[in-house]
Chains A and B, each alone.
Chain A
Amino acid sequence: MKKTHVALLTVLLFCFSKTVLAQSTGTLQGEVTDNATGEALPGVNVTVSGTVLGAATDADGRFSIERVPTGTHNILITMIGYKRAEVTARIEAEQVAAIKIALEETILETPEVMVTANKRRQSIQDTPNSVGVMTSREIEQKNQVYIDQFLQQASGVNFVGNQVNIRGSSGFSYGAGSRVLFLIDGVPVMPGDSGDIKWDMIPAAQIERVEIIKGAGSALYGSSALGGVINIITKKAVARPVTNLRLSTGAYDEPAHPEWKWSDELRHFNDIDIDHTRKIGQKSEILAAVGRHQSMGYRENTEQLRHNVSFKWNYKPTGTHNLTLSTNWEGGDRQTGLMWRSQRQALQVAPEALGDYVHSNKFGINLFHNWVLRKNLGLQTRVSYFYNYWKNWFHDNISASEAQKPGVEIQGDWQISANNSLIFGAEGSWDKVISDLVGTHDQYVVGAYVQNERALITNVNLTLGMRYDYAWVDIGFIDSEFNPKIGLIWHAHSKFRVRASSGRGFRAPSMSERFADSIYSGLRIIPNPELKSETSWSQEIGINFTPSSLFYIDIAGFMNDYWDLIEPEPNENQVVQFINITRARITGVETTVKMMPFTNLSFDLGYTWMDPQDMDLDVTLAYRPRHLFTGGVTYSLGAFECGADMRYISRFDAVKVYPFDDRVDQKLINLRAVYRIGSSSVTLSVNNVFNHNHTQMERTLMPIRHFVLTLSSRF
């Protein structure tokens, strides 16, 4: 019976494909150049509006899109660093239409960026919720190695230890679980045991763009997208043979106070990243990258040596099929100086913790298949596997954990009409964990989603979406969650838009929160198999004003409600257990301004005010600031560019473990200077230039003043 169904489906699909092929179509070809220099631009995205058809330019700036339906089409041309262009092209049956486009460079990138926040490429101006973007140029400017280092400069984002907060979502839970979903190229890469984010999985040198989706995103992304989503878009493999080399070295300065000096050695760090991309045969491109990252650390017992290898293969057998295989491995040893010995010896750890370290390996492999079934219907299939292993050698605990996460996702993208699109899909994953910390457990999650974006009336777009998830844990715990969302955008004027959105989010507890049974830093942690999922509702209303390509302002008011937050709590026996405790609400206002008042001077400002309240206890939520400010200024003069980045995070009103410790505002200023020679550059940065001392996680001093020299070259 099953075989009959499969055969029938195959025949139908074959006929459907034949029907598509039989439609009257033509080919669109073209060339994209830089309007100032006339040079060909490789890697430019060209899409046919109202369809799922598109291509990227090759090494010579040329592209070709086959099987474009006859008629007149709007062609959208986008590339980071350039203003978006839109042209009209007339396609005749079985003819080749040729266009030439010259793109104008811009430093103010945000209004031009295309994002995939809604699981399909669209302008950031068309998303109903707040989306922050860090482009490769901004990442390069920050001169940092890992994602968590430069994300600290993103508007509305702050870190507590290695846990990321988007608009105060996460707080701090000692590395167990995350209320922000972390994706690499749209694939979740959070291990099943700890459920936290592995920031070292991809070095900054391999990143093309980071998208920060603010507010609950579970209606599309499922569990963990309670407080937002961070999606890392990695570099693409392109046809032109290109090699990128990044060499970086640096050292930490003396501590601000002589009492804190603990080492006579120069505490230095060195990083090497190299990648190469080229065409292989007529239909495929590859990208291979390796990296080595070593640091002596500025604190005692924080030395580390990490390596990473990435490989990407892109194969395009026909104009309607595209296959991408990507793999990442990262591994090495890292010492773990968790907390200071005392505020008197803030850069040293307790003597018994000397030598504590963790060895870890992470590996991910993803296979994507994009199939353009017809001009307005695309189907993407993703098969993924993520492996995470670690073993720690702590003075009071030696343990290991292995987590595997195979997953599959099928997604359809149906452009019903020019102003009506539908995203639908289903995904499933299996977490298998064998761990000294949590035992041996399996968790299965399946989910299905659908989202419709349509023009309600002229200039008003409505987004409706929903997702259903069903999770089963091997101890018999079952959880099912339904997460709807609604969004509205009113393009009141070509330069002004108003948006509003509301959505539900949820996060299933990680295995470590549910099953952890261990001794950590002298504290006993016991399991809580009855732990429930935490849920949220996010509401947002925002306005966006872009009077010119030189000024951009975005203001958003938000209110995020949380239920059953999972927090570690010491019980009356001084034993720590993760329990559902708090009904919380975080309200706030976020403002982002980008402006370039002169050709050579640009500003980038972000301010977020928040009121994080525990509604049960009527107190401020722990580990959340009330004020976040990020500011950046860049001045460029020919081949020379210099700038400064500032971050201010107000003192946490409340912390959980050591409330009597001193706490201060976080104030940081980084200076940078870049000199470009052809396709090479030399960057010098002084980070934390005023050597401000503060903590994020209690008893862990954040990096003191350090100097970084980076040489980047493309050849």
Chain B
Amino acid sequence: MYVKRLCFALSALLLFSSCTVDTGLEPTHSGLAGTIYFQHEWPEETDQVMVVAATIFPPTSLEEIIMSEPLATFVDSTHYTLWTNPNSYAAVGVVWKEKEQPWDVTNIIGIYFPTDDHFSPGRVTIPDRNTVVDSIDIVADLSLARRRVDSAIEGQLTVNGDWPEGAQSVLMIASKTILPTSLLDITFGAPIECGFDTTSYRLSVQPGTYRLIGALVTEKDKPIGFDSIKGIYKKKPTDFLPGSVIVATDTSRVANINLILDFAAATLP
């Protein structure tokens, strides 16, 4: 009799054990929202545009970013909502994707800047599962959209001194002005793993004249700024100003643009 009761109790347990538990995943009720204002002409090669939020800026892997649904294209402005779970995002930006090309999260055409400091992306924190943080408005400059080109700047990176303790990655940068006024004036390369003595790099850039070629080191828990630039290309080591590089066409490859990452220097080299 006891065995029978035990069996029926076991059956009942099996059947109804999940009655009292949660029903699993639920729709997201939190996120961030705002309006994207597009500037300049839409490139014909436009495939998609998305809002991207990164927990670390600049992101070093796909795991650190989330992407919105594709936004409306060939419009002057559009409202968006990026549904996501509570988290703190170091930067929110707009990424452009060319037709028949893979996503390139460095192809940024707009960043959320809450102040006039266009070197410091605004941190957005979603506090709980029921809050949509609104007014995350972004100006997206379509003239910054980078089509796929074969043109590039190439060279060697040599380290002088010891790597800083919190060093995470090295990003090659290029700017058409000596003193960029915004992060958007800078073309970023893909992250290079730290720890090398010498390594070669290749920075894919659009044709044009670049007046600043540099190497930026990201450090753990430290926002990037001008002092993150640890190496600048100079034609001669004694030159005061950075060397210019002309990338003539879509297929130009400018080689031997070598830099020294100077960790021995206290500030900017």
Contact = CB atoms under 8 A, between A and B. Distances in A.
A367 interface: no
A701 B15 contact: no
Contacts of A524: 102
A691 B23 contact: yes
B70 A690 contact: no
A351 B69 contact: yes
Interface stretch (B37-45, B187-195, B210-218): B187-195
B14 interface: yes
A601 to B, nearest CB: 6
Contact of B24 (A519, A575, A667): A667
Contacts of A644: 11, 14-15
A597 interface: yes
A660 B87 contact: yes
Interface string B158-190: 000000000001000000000000000000001
Given A343-B83, A574-B105, A667-B21, A603 B28 contact: no
B116 interface: no
Interface residues of B, number: 47
The residue among B26, B104, B105, B192 with the most chain A CB atoms within 10 A of its own CB is B26
B15 A669 contact: yes
A259 B81 CA distance: 15
Interface in A673-709: 690-695, 701
B18 A570 contact: no
Interface string B66-91: 10111000000000000111010000
Contacts of B83: 342-344
B253 interface: no
B27 A350 contact: no
Contact of A352 (B24, B70, B105): B70
B191 A572 contact: yes
A346 B26 CA distance: 9
B100 A257 contact: no
A270 to B, nearest CB: 28
A257 B26 contact: yes
B102 A601 contact: no
Chain B at the A interface: SS class = loop
The residue among A351, A660, A690 with the most chain B CB atoms within 10 A of its own CB is A660
A343 B25 CA distance: 9
A260 B27 contact: yes
Contacts of A657: 62-63
The residue among B19, B24, B31 with the most chain A CB atoms within 10 A of its own CB is B24
Contacts of A257: 26-27
B25 A631 contact: no
Contact of A570 (B27, B55, B61): B61
A318 interface: no
B48 A662 contact: no
A692 B23 contact: yes
B7 interface: yes
A523 interface: yes
Nearest to B13: A631
Contacts of A661: 85
Nearest to A663: B25
B234 interface: no
Contacts of A665: 24
A256 interface: yes
A346 B23 CA distance: 15
A269 B63 CA distance: 37
Interface of A: 256-257, 259-260, 341-346, 350-352, 396, 519, 522-524, 570, 572-575, 597-598, 601, 603, 631, 633, 635, 644, 646, 656-662, 664-665, 667, 669, 671, 690-695, 701
30 contacts: A256-B23, A259-B27, A342-B28, A343-B28, A344-B31, A345-B27, A351-B69, A396-B47, A396-B100, A519-B102, A523-B102, A523-B103, A572-B190, A574-B61, A575-B102, A597-B4, A631-B14, A646-B14, A646-B15, A646-B18, A658-B63, A660-B63, A660-B66, A662-B25, A664-B22, A665-B24, A667-B18, A669-B18, A693-B23, A693-B26
Given A256-B24, A344-B29, 16 more contacts: A257-B26, A260-B27, A344-B27, A350-B69, A519-B100, A522-B102, A572-B190, A572-B192, A574-B62, A660-B66, A660-B84, A660-B85, A662-B25, A692-B24, A694-B25, A695-B25
What are the 5 closest A-B residue pairs judged by CB atoms, nearest first?
A693-B24, A259-B27, A524-B102, A344-B83, A522-B103
